[in-house]
């Protein structure tokens, strides 16, 4: 099949002569798969450009995708995206205009768990000396790894680099009996990378530091008030009327073998045909279903990119209590199970790392999961999570009166076939074989017409992972159809 760049078709030339561009006619039926930020941005843009026959097929019974605000008290708990990376981007602009940015967030996020907060180490006492020694060693590392971006072998993983530095640190330390304490601190330190990038740090290639670029400082993250992404979601949906969105409509096949694109739904239903379809399903979904979703099969380049680029997971747990049991001035509670220290500390204790009180509601403690923990926790029932999390607090804070949460709010991202995790990253394998987000983004052109286009966070070369990348990529593909730019 023709790829991008193969534009010398008869139809393309004819349209260029007639209209100056191969732009799709305004009444052309266009389908969008997915009503997340990419799908909504694409629809909104197409509608603004004058396209009057746009249909979004969304598998779930809601819009937003990985933006998932749920009503709680007088605000919204964000089960999905919560922060905005940097300022020089349209999502920050929208949030600022909507007045939902937290006023006091100009300073850089301090995501180093070792610098602040309680270290909850159970029956172990981690001496201030040990903590200082480790902090002195570990704190400069993130800057060091960032500065290695673009230099040397970019296929090395952060975990690999750390492991070398850590061995050096250990051999410089006299007291070898401290290893278990330093190992525990390493686990916590590791989580600051893994919760940021949604990747096992042994698979997080250095290339990410080279490619990921918000145009602002990398660690600059902005928080929003209790409306947060709910307000942003409503705003970007303004021009997309509800009748254009088909909920509970999972697409199981996109057949672009003919002149018109045929779509099959899980229900067996086959809607009318389309001139073009914009696919915004997550990379996690494509990893599972790319081979059955498209007829004919995607190109080898695209499939390799889908197979090898990374799609990992973070986890968010919202623990609701009748009243806070933590002290008023608690910033973060860092869980630090040290091997051999606390009696009856089960393996699940190591699933937990960082908790902090939710900014706008006193009764909620927010927990972050990373590495293999999100999948492990997703496999547990709410009651099992309640027991596990209460146990770890009681053991690590040595206080048996800490109550169970009354409710747990979460979404099981890893086991949901529509997501299969949280967001993408450049894996070691992708860094090695040159698989790129641009390869996923390349539209499929048939007879000079772009028939299948790709948007979504995993199609943006610089701000993948984010709502920003999702939003920009949706507009990009709408503009592509309008401009005949393929």
Ligand X SMILES: Cc1cc2nc3c(=O)[nH]c(=O)nc-3n(C[C@H](O)[C@H](O)[C@H](O)COP(=O)(O)OP(=O)(O)OC[C@H]3O[C@@H](n4cnc5c(N)ncnc54)[C@H](O)[C@@H]3O)c2cc1C
Omega prior to 413 cis, within 30 of 0: no
Distance between CA 308 and CA 286 in Å, rounded? 11
Asked if 423 is part of the footprint of ligand X (rule: CB under 6 A), the reply reads: yes
Asked if 55 is part of the footprint of ligand X (rule: CB under 6 A), the reply reads: no
Strand order in the sheet with 449-454: 245-246, 54-57, 30-33, 276-279, 449-454, 444-446
277-306 binders of ligand X (CB under 6 A): 280-282, 285
DSSP-derived 3-state class of residue 167: helix
* Minimum gap (Å) between residue 239 Cβ and ligand NAG: 4
Asked if 328 is part of the footprint of ligand NAG (rule: CB under 6 A), the reply reads: no
Single residue of 33, 44, 126, 169 touching ligand NAG by CB under 6 A: 44
Distance between CA 338 and CA 475 in Å, rounded? 49
Write the binding mask 306 to 325 for ligand NAG: x where contact by CB under 6 A, - elsewhere.
Answer: -------------------x
> Which residue's CB is nearer to ligand NAG, number 236 or number 293?
236
For the chain, the C-alpha Rg in angstroms (whole number) is 24
Single residue of 239, 301, 390, 415 touching ligand NAG by CB under 6 A: 239
Q: Which does 308 bind (CB under 5 to 8 A by kind): ligand NAG, ligand X, none?
A: none
Beta bridge mates, 311: 424
Which are the contacts of 51, defined by CB distance < 8 A and separation ≥ 6?
Answer: 24, 26, 28, 30, 481, 482
Asked if 228 is part of the footprint of ligand X (rule: CB under 6 A), the reply reads: no
Beta bridge mates, 465: none
Q: Which does 238 bind (CB under 5 to 8 A by kind): ligand NAG, ligand X, none?
A: ligand NAG
Distance between CA 274 and CA 246 in Å, rounded? 15
Q: Which does 235 bind (CB under 5 to 8 A by kind): ligand NAG, ligand X, none?
A: ligand NAG
CA dihedral 99, 105, 111, 112 (to 10 degrees): -170
In terms of Cα–Cα distance, which of 367, 350, 373, 404 is closest to 121? Answer: 350
Write the binding mask 460 to 479 for ligand X: x where contact by CB under 6 A, - elsewhere.
Answer: -----xxxx-x---------
Asked if 36 is part of the footprint of ligand X (rule: CB under 6 A), the reply reads: yes
Q: Which does 401 bind (CB under 5 to 8 A by kind): ligand NAG, ligand X, none?
A: ligand NAG
Single residue of 56, 402, 418, 481 touching ligand NAG by CB under 6 A: 402
Distance between CA 423 and CA 370 in Å, rounded? 12
Single residue of 3, 11, 26, 48 touching ligand NAG by CB under 6 A: 48
For residues 47 and 33, is the Cβ–Cβ distance under 8 A?
no
Which parts of this chain interact with ligand NAG (CB under 6 A)? 44, 48, 61, 235-236, 238-239, 325, 399, 401-403
- Which residues sit at the interface with ligand X, rule CB under 6 A? 33-39, 57-60, 65-67, 80-83, 85, 250-251, 280-282, 285, 314, 316, 413, 418-419, 422-423, 456-457, 465-468, 470
């Amino acid at each position: 099949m023709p790829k991008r760049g193969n534009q010398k078709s008869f139809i393309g030339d004819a349209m260029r002569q007639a209209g100056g561009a191969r732009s799709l006619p305004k009444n052309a039926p266009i389908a969008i798969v997915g009503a997340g930020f990419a799908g909504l941005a694409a629809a909104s843009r197409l509608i603004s450009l004058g396209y009057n026959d746009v249909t979004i097929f969304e598998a779930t019974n809601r819009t937003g995708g990985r933006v998932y605000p749920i009503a709680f008290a007088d605000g919204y708990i964000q089960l999905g995206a919560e922060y905005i990376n940097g300022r020089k981007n349209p999502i920050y602009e929208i949030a600022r205009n909507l007045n939902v940015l937290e006023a006091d967030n100009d300073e850089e996020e301090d995501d180093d768990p070792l610098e602040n907060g309680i270290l909850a180490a159970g029956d172990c006492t981690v001496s201030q000396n040990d903590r200082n020694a480790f902090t002195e060693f570990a704190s400069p590392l993130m800057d060091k790894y960032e500065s290695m971006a673009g230099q040397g072998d970019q296929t090395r993983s952060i975990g690999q680099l750390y492991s070398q530095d850590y061995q050096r640190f250990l051999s410089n330390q006299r007291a070898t009996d401290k290893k278990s304490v330093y190992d525990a601190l390493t686990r916590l330190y590791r989580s600051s990378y893994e919760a940021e990038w949604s990747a096992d740090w042994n698979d997080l290639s250095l290339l990410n530091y080279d490619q990921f670029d918000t145009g602002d400082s990398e660690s600059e993250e902005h928080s929003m008030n209790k409306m947060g992404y709910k307000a942003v979601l409503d705003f970007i949906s303004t021009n997309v009327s509800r009748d254009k969105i088909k909920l509970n409509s999972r697409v199981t096949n996109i057949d672009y073998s003919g002149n018109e694109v045929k779509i099959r739904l899980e229900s067996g239903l086959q809607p009318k045909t389309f001139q073009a379809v914009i696919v915004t399903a997550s990379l996690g979904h494509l990893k599972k279903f790319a081979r059955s979703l498209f007829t004919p099969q995607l190109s080898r380049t695209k499939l390799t990119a889908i197979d090898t680029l990374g799609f990992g997971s973070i986890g968010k747990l919202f623990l609701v209590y009748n009243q806070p049991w933590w002290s008023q001035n608690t910033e973060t509670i860092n869980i630090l199970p040290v091997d051999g220290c606390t009696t009856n500390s089960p393996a699940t204790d190591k699933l937990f790392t960082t908790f902090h009180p939710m900014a706008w509601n006193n009764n909620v403690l927010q927990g972050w999961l990373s590495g293999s923990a999100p999948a492990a926790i997703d496999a547990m029932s709410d009651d099992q999570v309640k027991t596990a999390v209460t146990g770890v607090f009681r053991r690590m804070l040595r206080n048996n009166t800490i109550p169970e949460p009354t409710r747990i709010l979460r979404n099981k991202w890893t086991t949901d076939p529509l997501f299969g995790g949280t967001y993408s990253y450049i894996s070691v394998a992708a860094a090695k074989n040159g698989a790129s987000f641009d390869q996923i983004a390349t539209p499929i052109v048939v007879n000079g017409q772009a028939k299948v286009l790709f948007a979504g966070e995993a199609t943006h070369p610089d701000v993948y992972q984010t709502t920003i990348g999702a939003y920009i990529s949706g507009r990009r593909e709408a503009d592509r159809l309008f401009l005949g730019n393929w």
